[in-house]
Amino acid sequence: MNPVGVDIRHVALSFGATQVLKDISVSVEPGEFFALLGPSGSGKSTLLRLIAGFNQHQAGEVLIGGRDVTGTPPWKRDVGMVFQNYALWPHMTVEQNVAFGLEERRLPRAQVREKVAAALDLVGLAGYGARRPGQLSGGQQQRVAIARTLAIEPQVLLLDEPLSNLDARLRVQTRQELVKLQRRLGITTIFVTHDQIEALTTCHRVAVMDEGVIQQVGTPMELFDFPVNRFVAQFVGSVNLFAGRFEREGGALRFASEKLGRVALPAGVEPPAGEHDLAFRPHAVSVVDAAGPEALSLRGAVENAEFLGEFLRYEIRVGAGLVIADIPHARGRAPIAPGTAISLAIPASELRFVAA
């Protein structure tokens, strides 16, 4: 089966007086692993259920493979959905759970057995068919739910927070298995999550949502390196973010902030027009003896240090603000003591100016 694309065009959806989705437009490419990322209440699960046909929009279009499925019931959309709680029937065996959708389509019994065996083998559960869900681990139950969905050979696979019920170690393992499976099948997949790590490590592209609006769409690196506004900068990764204004003084450019005070920006840096915040990532901060003209120079005192294995995360008081710095750890090196005055440098290339 050739993969198909999904196009959302100017979709709006309200529950009563509450507008949940506001003029949503986004395209998912055929065979793409695409994430809808956002906090609780951002509208991401509502959008996924709308694609599946469980929600109905009041405006706009939903196209699957170029076909407008607005008003088409879920069972005629040729999509498969894996729910957050897996939705397995505890009284049925694994084989019976996986066979359910096939039997509903009234396929011949021999064909059902063949497809069930193929689906279980695909997710690494061959030989588990006679067990019941209660005899499986959380990760195995999740794979049964995926096998049941893949058995009907949908054009689009929809995943609603599929890893949220797993413990941390199993979540990483299952996430990696899911990526390998999607890459192998090439099926168009839309994955809902509130966990930025899950989105950034699994998907080709990510749509960041907040308050029913898509804030930005891009590859994981694009979102991390070039956030378009304050929300995306803060939601995708850790960030130092300071509100202020830009001032010119004798040809030099300064950033005036209530938190940082007035700091000189590196030569060659030109902020965009309009009001923007100054942003830089903690890993871009270095502790130096003195910063050169090609870097933003800050002076502060260490307030706190956390040892996180590969690096130490410092909180440094700069003026009235706190700067977070992730400094690589070297074996045997003691952390900088609280109260120590230090100089910081942030390369000009790591500075970002994001819309407030």
**Dihedral of CA 64/65/70/75: which sign?**
negative
| Mean pLDDT along residues 11-24 | 95
Contacts of 65 (CB under 8 A, 6+ apart): 4, 5, 78, 155
pLDDT of residue 307: 94
Residues ≥6 apart with Cβ < 8 Å to 147:
98, 116, 119, 120, 122, 123, 125
**Residue 20 to residues 11, 141, 193, Cα–Cα distance (Å):** 10, 31, 17
For 220, the token pair is: 């994981």
The pLDDT score that the predictor gives to residue 152 is 86
Model pLDDT, residue 50: 95
Parallel, antiparallel, or unpaired: how do β-strands 295-307 and 286-288 relate?
Answer: unpaired
* C-alpha closest to that of 155 among 72, 237, 87: 72
* Percentage of the residues of the chain whose pLDDT score is greater than 70: 99
- Tell me, what's the pLDDT at 1? 64
pLDDT tens-digit series, residues 22-53: 999 999 999 999 999 999 999 999 999 999 99
Amino acid code (one letter) for 118: A
| Mean pLDDT value of segment 41-68 | 95
DSSP letters, 146-191, are HHHHHHT--SEEEEESTTTTS-HHHHHHHHHHHHHHHHHH--EEEE
**Predicted confidence band of residue 218 (pLDDT cuts 50, 70, 90):** very high
- pTM, two decimals, is 0.88
Please check the confidence at residue 86 and state whether its pLDDT lies above 80.
no
Higher local confidence (pLDDT), 240 or 116: 240
Cα separation, 308 vs 168, whole angstroms: 16
